[in-house]
Structure formats: structure tokens, C-alpha cells
Structure 1
Amino acid sequence: MKLNDLLNLPVFEGATLTAGNQGIEREVHTVNMMDAPDIIHFLKKNDLLITTAFHFKDDLDSLLILIREMEKQGCSGLGIKTKRFLEEIPEAAITLANELDFPLIELPVHTSLGDIVNQSLSYILDVRTNELHHAMQTHQLFTKYVISGQGIDKIVERLSSLIKFPVVLLNSHLRPVRNQVKNTSIDNLEKMLVNGYSFHFPKATMSSFSMVNETRETVTLFPVYTHNEQSSYLAVLGFIPPSNRSTILTVEQASNVIAFELMKENALKQHSRRLQNEFFTNFINGTFSTYEEVISRGREFGLNNEQRYICTVGDIVDEEKTISYLRSQSENELIYEAIEFEIQSFHQTVHIFTIDHSYIFLLELNDTWKNIEQSFLSLLTNIQSKLHTHFRANISFGISNYAEQLKQVPISYKEARDALYYGNMLGKKQFIEIYQPKEVTEILRMVPIDQLKKFYTDTFQAFANESKKDYQDLLHTLSVYLESHCQISEAAKRLYVHRNTIIYRLEKCEEIIGRSLKEPDETLRLRLAFRIKALLQGNH
């Protein structure tokens, strides 16, 4: 409670605030009565000390030191009973207290210090008891909403009614996650977060800030701690003073109940995701015994047999262009939720699955691909931007041709995988590659696998004597060079290296294979070998 509220108690009748008027709204958590010389060592923040000043009657310097130390520790104020050991509060003490805005109270001689302590503590305890009782009631109210199935939306709505401010539930990236009010300040939070602003400190129970836009609106954030490493937030569109404990406790109770509800929802989502991912994995791998079983199981997950689909596969890769497996489970969940959040706003239905560390989208094609291609590519580009911004993750996508029916989806999945592979082979970074039919690949599929392996081995056998790093660099450079139509400048651009580096590596390749890369037959042989490599890897 505030000091000015405490001074209004009858027991403080006749008391005078002689200095530190600016500190009259300081918080008071407890009242102490002590006359020990080393009294400062027993005081804490928000303590109000009352004393007879016995030890300071002949030692003004010690009184000034006490005032300074109490101010440093954040104490609420100092009450001195005059007309006993001090006839009046020294002018030097009043001057210092005014400089520090530290409340200095003159207590009347007729009032017992014991009565002041007892009645003050009793009043503070009553206030705290009422606050806790109110907190228990609100907690029971919010819990009742959850038990009755009304859920988080009802809690947020009721919380807003109780505290008289609009309330919005935000995810870890400060984006609204439910049926929320439209608000300019909320819309700008994510953009500001991306630009490096911090809105909440880990040890703080709440944080308030004012927007610098034309609204000058104040937003108060309360963290909602769940299973995730990053918390969600309840955003109150208004300023809640730290001294308003009743309102703060009300929001905290809502936060606690919402946290449990979010964890329950997450557990259900995880179970549902696991089932649909198991179905899709078995479907792609041809595990189901009959196609009727595929149709039946697919219907459980909203997949219609007669629906046309576009399949998209996304992989998150590290700087070495290998799939990243080092992210924690909680971070992978956050990435999945971020992708899901972006897809929810798309105008066509998109089903999400995961296999290992890949993200698979099945886009229901209810229009021509030409009519929705740009909007879908914009969606994927936006997902790339969001993941890079919030997780420093680079995701690339391969897109298939459309499947006429559900049973053709495994073929589309393979096409999307091939498009992703060829994009990586071309040295691209964070790309979107659309599958193009590879007639040569289809012809190569007709050749016995053993002969393909022998052709591939014979072609690159000479490179085997090189170190592992040189072997990889040379073959990758050679592949990109051939895919760039033997244009050195284009290959250098795709590999982010100087063209002289490309020339050096190509000369090294010619030295190893003993033939010129300008010979058409040799470049054809190498192109076929690289195509065979992709084909062999796709069969594993």
C-alpha cells in the first residue's frame, strides 16, 4: 500500500510530513520500530521505520547517514517521535530529505510507537488478505470457465471486463493468437521486436511502455509461462501502476489459468500431430496394404480422395547446406507453430505434416495453379522471412506438380523432394524451386541400377584420391558450373566465390580426370553422372 494511504489511519493523527513530499506515494510493505545504532542493517526495501531517535539526540551526522542509507535501500520513509529525545527534527535532516525526496514524518508525543506498529501492520495485513481473497475468487472464476469448456477466449473477455482495459493474448513473437481486438499498437509490436526492441525482462512480473506513434497508447505486458522456452503474453492496452496490486493479482491469476490451458491444448495438438505425421509417413512409404485403407485413414485428417493437391517440402539447412538437426524440441515446436500461424491466414486449405526434420504442405488445389501460384509463393516467402527473423533459420522449399487424386500424392512428394535437391545442387540459398519434368532422369530410370552405379563410380573414381574437403568442393563446383551452362561468372555468383576460384577448381578437375571440360562428350558424361547421383540418392 502507499505511504499516503497509511498516514490517513487514525493512529497517525497529529503526524506531520515535514520533508520528502514527492515520495508520499512510496510503497509500504511493513512498519518497523527500532532504536539500535546499527538499525540500517535490519531494514529492507519498502520498510517504514519509526523511532524515538534516542541514539541521534547528540549525533546529527548519524541521523543524516541513516537517511542516506535508507534512501539507497529503497525504504518508504522515516518517522521520528519528537519532544522526547529530539525537541524537533533538525533542519539539516529536513534539507537532506527534501533533496532526496525521502519522506520524513514527525510523530506526535502522545501516540505510542507500539500502537502505530500494531495498527499499521494490522491494516496492511487486512489489505493483503483482501487482495489474496480477491485473487482466489478470480482464480476460481477463470478455472470455472476452463472446466465448463468456455476456454481461453472467455477468460480474456472476462479479464478485460474486470480490469476495465482491453486485453489481448500474444504469442512469443508478440502476435495475437486468438479472436482479438484490432489495435494499431499491437500490430506494431512484432515489427518493433524484429527491429531489436525489448519489451520484457526475464525477472520482471510485468512491464509497461508507451508507443511513440500518434496514439501514445500505453501497453502493459504480463508473461504467460508454459512448456515453451519463450513465453506468451497477456497485453493490457492501458497502464497498470505497480502499486495497483489488486489488478496485478487479477491479471496474474488469469495468466496462470491460461498457461495451464495452453499446455493442455499443446498436449492435444502434439497427439494429433503425431497421428497425422505417422499416417503421412506410412502413406509416403507405401505401408498401407490397400488404397481403400489410405482413403479411409486420409479422411480422418481432412484429406479427400478426389481432391487435387500440390505438395511442398521444406528443409531448414545450416550454413554448410546440410539439414539442421541441432534445434531443441521446444524450438522445433515454436517453428511449427510459426508456420501454422502463417498458413492459417491463407485463402486456400493447406495441410501440414512433418517427416523427420522436413515440413510438408499439401495445398488443396480448388483453382488453376496459375491463378494461385503467386499468392502461394508469397506465403512461402513470408514463412522464410518469419523463420529467419525469429529463429535465424534458413528454410528452402521444393514444389511438385499437382496430383489429380490423393493416391498420386507420394509421386508429388517425390517431385517436391527432387526440386529441393536440384535447388541445393545449384548452390542456391533459402530458395523456392518448382519441379520441372526431367526427361533424362526418366530415361535413366530404365537403366539397371548396377550399371548406373558403375557409370557413376567410373566417372568420379579419379577424385577419390583427393582429401574429403577438396573432393566435396571440386565436385560441387563442377556440378554448379555444368548447371550454369558452363558460364564461369554465373557459377561464381551462385557459389558466392571469386571467378578465379572457379577457374582454379575447374583446372584442378581437368587435371584429375585428364580431359578438357570444353569437350562436349566429357561435359555430357559428367552431367549424366551428376544426374545418376541424384537418382541413386533418391532411391535410398
Structure 2
Amino acid sequence: MRLYELFDLPVFKGAALIAGKQGIEREVNTVNMMDAPDIIHFLKKNELLVTTAFHFKDDLDSLLQLIKEMEKQGCSGLGIKTKRFLKEIPEAAISLANELKFPLLELPVHTSLGDIVNKSLSYILDIRTNELHHAMQTHQQFTKHIMSGQGIYKILESLSTLIHLPVILLNHHLRPAVKHSQHTSIFENFEALMASGHYFHLPKTTMSSFSLLNETRETITLFPVYTHKQYSYLAVLGFIPLSDRSTILTIKQATNVIAFELMKENALKQNTRRIQNEFFNNFINGAYSTNEEVISRGKEFRLLNEQRYVCAVGKIEDKEKNISFMQYQSEQELIYDTIESELERFHQKVHFFTIDHSYILLMELKGGWKNISQSFITLLKNIQTKILKHFQEELSFGISNYAEQLIHVPVSYKEATDALYYGNMSGKKRFIEIYQPKEVPEILRMVPYDQLKKFYTDTFQAFANEPKKDHQVLLHTLSVYLETHCQLSETAKRLYVHRNTVIYRLGKCEEIIGRSLKDPDETLRLRLAFRIKALIQGNNQLG
């Protein structure tokens, strides 16, 4: 309570504030009565001292020293009972108190110091009891919202009603953590604050207030909410003084309940992440026996097979860090949250996984890759900048070519990891490397599967559509013949057969496929068809 509120008590009738009137709004937590010479060693902050000044009646310097020390310790004020040992308070003491803006009270002789202490403490205790009772009721109300499944949004709504100020919950990036809040627009200027990195210097144990740099200069009061090794903030649009204990207690009850709810949500989120990461790890490592199983499991995580994807794999540069395992885990979670926060703002849907300290971003491709490539690279650069600025870590990315379907994503993942590897081998730091196809099979994978299969069947005809017992031998002969650059003698040598046998088999091949092996364009087509055949068989084995 404030010092001026204490003066309204009947026990202070006849008392006068004779100096330090500017300190009339000082907080008073307790009232004490002491006449010992070493009083100052027993006083606390926000404590009002009442005394007869027996030890100061002939020692003005000690009285002045007491006033200085009480001001230094943040005491509430000093009340001196006059007309007993001191006829009046010395002018030097009044002058010093005014200079220090330290409240100096003159207490009448007929008033008992014991009564002042007892009745003041009783009044303060009644106020504290009422505050505690109100806090308990508020806590029960907020807990009821959570238990009934109404969630954090309802707590914020109730809190705003109770304190008559707009309230919003901000995550550790100072972005609204609860969607659909009616006050979200008020905090748009936090983007600039977040970009400057100031939020990392906000107090994490006490409330803090500051003004936004906008036209209206709104004052924001932040209350830290500690959850799972990181801080969120309950933001109130308005200034709340430390002396407003009732409002502060109400808000703190809300932060306590919200903290438990956020920890529960975080535990569920961690479990969901683990399940997602296990699926993706099994997927790219071929743990699923059929394509149908991959497609079915993918739907559980909103991954559709008839959807094109681009894969980016990121990894932080390895370096020695003298931190504990728990600190490392905590930092990894914060990095994950930072990346996830950036992805939520991106205009394309990006699925996020982690495997072996790598960060995998699987972007759904809408339209052509050329149209989206630059914006995706800009996203990755923003992520790199945030990780470097806030964690002093260098994050690099490798980007794949796009996969035509979900079942082709393991190939894209390998392309992205290869690009990351090549970037590291070239000595680059904090880079973004795009995979460049270097082999025919890698180029063929970029062609839709249905078109590849049609090219294969059109080229091989009956070899593909109606395979017979001797077809395998004929195809093998044709394959070796093409590999030896159409050299009959070399083909016969590799197959351990007579040259005439090779000529006979190649003639049979020409009859079946209806193409001349003497035409260079046809032999090129057949070479491609054999490469496509290997891809199709690989897919069939996966299926």
C-alpha cells in the first residue's frame, strides 16, 4: 500500500508530513518501531520506521545519517514522536529530507507508537489477505478455463476483462502465440523489435515496461512466462506500476496457469515431432515395404503422393562447444522453434523434420520451381541470419531438384544431402547449394514416371509388354552390344559366344522392337530405354 493511504487510518490523526512530500506515494510493506542506536542495520526496503528519537536528542549528526541511510535502503519514511525527547524536528533534518524527497513525519505525543505499529500492520495484513483471497479466486477461475478445455485464449479474455486492459500472449520471438486474438494487430510493431534482437535482453524474472516506437506510443508491460527452458511473455497494453499489487497478483496467477498449459502443449508437440521424425527417417531409409504403405502413412502427416516436393537439408557447422548435454538439447529446441517460426510465415506449405542433427524442409511445390525458387532461397537465407544472430551458429543448406511424387522424396533427400556435402567439401561457410544433376538417371528422375514408362514400353514393345522365356537373353545381348558401342566382336567376347550368335540375337531383337540397330538415333533411344528400365525396376522393387 502507499504511504498516503496509511495516513487515512484514525491512529495517524494529528500526524503531519513535514518534509519529503514528493515521496508520499512510496510503497509501505511493513511498519517498525525501534529506538536502538544501530536501527539502520535492522531495517528493510519499503519499511516505515516510527521512533521517539531518544538516541538522537543530543546527536543531530546521527539523525541526519539515519535519514541518509534509510533513503539509500529504499525505506518508506521516518515518523518521529515529538514533545517528548525532541521538542521539535530539527530544521537540518527537514532540509535533508526535502532534498532527498524522503518522507519525514511528525507524530503527536498522545499517540502510542505501539498502536501505530499494531493498527498499521493489521491494516496492511487485511489488504494482503484480501489480495491473496482474490488471487486464489482468480487462479481457480483460470484453472477452470483450462480444465474445461477452453484453453489459453479464454484465460487471456478473462484477464483482459478483470484488469480492463488488452492482453496477448507472445512467444519467445515476441510474436502472438495464440491465434485469433482480438488484440493481435496491436503488436505488429514487435516485428521490428524482434528483428533488432532486443527481446533477448528483456528481463526474464521480473515485469518490465516500455513504449513502442509508433505514432500512438503505446506502453507495453511484459510479464515473463517460463516454460520448458524458454520464456514466453504475457503482454499488457498499458502501464502497470509496481505499487498496483492487486493487478500484478492477478496477472501472475494467469502466468502460472498459462505456464502449466504451455508445458503440456509443449510435451504434446515434442511427441508429435518425434512421431513425424520417425516416419520420415523410416521413409527415406526404405523401411516401408510398399509404396501404398508410404502413401497411407504420409497422409497421416498431410503429405500427399500426387504432390511435387522440393527438399532442403540444413546442418550446423560442427565446432567444439564447452556446454553440457542439457544445454545443447535446450539450444537445439530453440533453434528448431526459430526455424519453425520462420516457416509458419512463408507463403508455401513447408513440412519440417529433423534427423541426425539435420534440419529437413520439405516444401510443397505449387506451380513451376523457377517461380518459387528465389523466394524459397530467401526464406533459407532469413533462417541462416536468425540462427547466426541469436545462436552464433553457421547453418548451411543443400537443395534438391523437385520430386514429382511423394514416393520419390527419398531421392530428393539424397540429392539435398549430396549438395550439402559438395558445398562443405568446397570449403564454403553458411552456404546454400542447389543440387546439379550429373548422371543420366538423375536427369530421368525429373521426368514424370508415367511418361518414362510410356517411352520404355514404346521402345521395347513386346520385350516390355509380353516378355517370353528367351527375351532375357536377347535383352542382355542387346545391352552388351550397346555398351560396347555396337562392336560385334567385343560383344561376342564379353558374352563368351560366337560372333554369328550375336548377329542372330540382334536380328531377333530388331524383329521384336521394329527398329534398326544401324540407326544412331535408334541406338540412343535404346540406351535411354535401358536406363529407364533400371529406374522402373527399382520402383517396382520398392513397391
TM-score range, shorter chain: 0.7 to 0.9
1:156 alignment counterpart: 156
Deviation of residue 226 (structure 1)? Answer: 1.3
Question: Which whole-Å deviations, capped at 9, do the CAs of 1:93-113 have from their partners, x for residues lacking one?
Answer: 111111111111011122111
Q: Distance in 1 between matches of 2:236 and 2:26?
A: 24
Deviation of residue 307 (structure 1)? Answer: 1.8
1:191 alignment counterpart: 195
1:210 is aligned to 2:211: yes
Deviation of residue 246 (structure 1)? Answer: 0.8
Comparing 103-112 with 53-62, which one deviates more in the overlay?
53-62
Q: Distance in 2 between matches of 1:168 and 1:429?
A: 39
- Conserved in 1, the CA contact under 8 Å of 2:189 and 2:212? yes
1:182 is aligned to 2:191: no
Q: Distance in 2 between matches of 1:198 and 1:338?
A: 13
Q: Distance in 2 between matches of 1:163 and 1:356?
A: 47
Deviation of residue 424 (structure 1)? Answer: 1.9
* SS of equivalent residue, structure 1 residue 402: coil
1:483 alignment counterpart: none
Comparing 113-122 with 287-296, which one deviates more in the overlay?
287-296
Q: Distance in 1 between matches of 2:211 and 2:350?
A: 38
Residues 118 and 206 (structure 1 numbering): CA distance in 2 closer, same or farther, change over 3 Å?
A: same
Residues 109 and 185 (structure 1 numbering): CA distance in 2 closer, same or farther, change over 3 Å?
A: farther
1:289 alignment counterpart: 289
Q: Distance in 2 between matches of 1:21 and 1:131?
A: 28
Structure 1 stretches of 4+ moved >4 Å: 196-199, 440-443
* SS of equivalent residue, structure 2 residue 306: coil
Q: What RMSD in Å do the two structures reach over aligned CA positions? A: 2.1
Which structure 2 residues correspond to residues 312-391 of structure 1 after superposition, within 5 A? 312-318=312-318, 328-391=328-391
Of all paired residues, the percent bearing the same amino acid is 73
Q: Distance in 2 between matches of 1:326 and 1:122?
A: 48
Which structure's CA Rg is the greater one? 2
* SS of equivalent residue, structure 2 residue 401: strand
1:26 is aligned to 2:30: no
* SS of equivalent residue, structure 2 residue 169: strand
Q: Distance in 2 between matches of 1:212 and 1:346?
A: 26
* SS of equivalent residue, structure 1 residue 353: strand
Deviation of residue 212 (structure 1)? Answer: 4.6
Q: Distance in 1 between matches of 2:380 and 2:202?
A: 30
With the length of structure 2 as denominator, give the TM-score of the two structures: 0.76
Residues 414 and 256 (structure 1 numbering): CA distance in 2 closer, same or farther, change over 3 Å?
A: same
Q: Distance in 1 between matches of 2:317 and 2:326?
A: 11
Residues 10 and 137 (structure 1 numbering): CA distance in 2 closer, same or farther, change over 3 Å?
A: same
* SS of equivalent residue, structure 1 residue 85: coil
1:54 alignment counterpart: 54
Number of equivalenced pairs: 435
1:225 alignment counterpart: 226
Deviation of residue 327 (structure 1)? Answer: 6.6
* SS of equivalent residue, structure 2 residue 99: helix
2:171 alignment counterpart: 171
- Conserved in 1, the CA contact under 8 Å of 2:399 and 2:432? yes
- Conserved in 1, the CA contact under 8 Å of 2:310 and 2:365? yes
* SS of equivalent residue, structure 1 residue 216: coil
* SS of equivalent residue, structure 1 residue 18: strand
Give the AA of the match of 2:219: T
Question: Which whole-Å deviations, capped at 9, do the CAs of 1:66-116 have from their partners, x for residues lacking one?
Answer: 111111111111111111111111111111111111111011122111111
- Conserved in 2, the CA contact under 8 Å of 1:200 and 1:206? no
- Conserved in 2, the CA contact under 8 Å of 1:3 and 1:28? yes
Residues 278 and 138 (structure 1 numbering): CA distance in 2 closer, same or farther, change over 3 Å?
A: same
Deviation of residue 22 (structure 1)? Answer: 0.8
Q: Distance in 1 between matches of 2:299 and 2:195?
A: 39
Which structure 2 residues correspond to residues 217-296 of structure 1 after superposition, within 5 A? 217-228=218-229, 230-296=230-296
Q: Distance in 1 between matches of 2:162 and 2:8?
A: 28
Deviation of residue 408 (structure 1)? Answer: 0.9
Give the AA of the match of 2:253: Q
1:498 alignment counterpart: none
Question: Which whole-Å deviations, capped at 9, do the CAs of 1:260-301 have from their partners, x for residues lacking one?
Answer: 111111100111111111111111111122222222222211
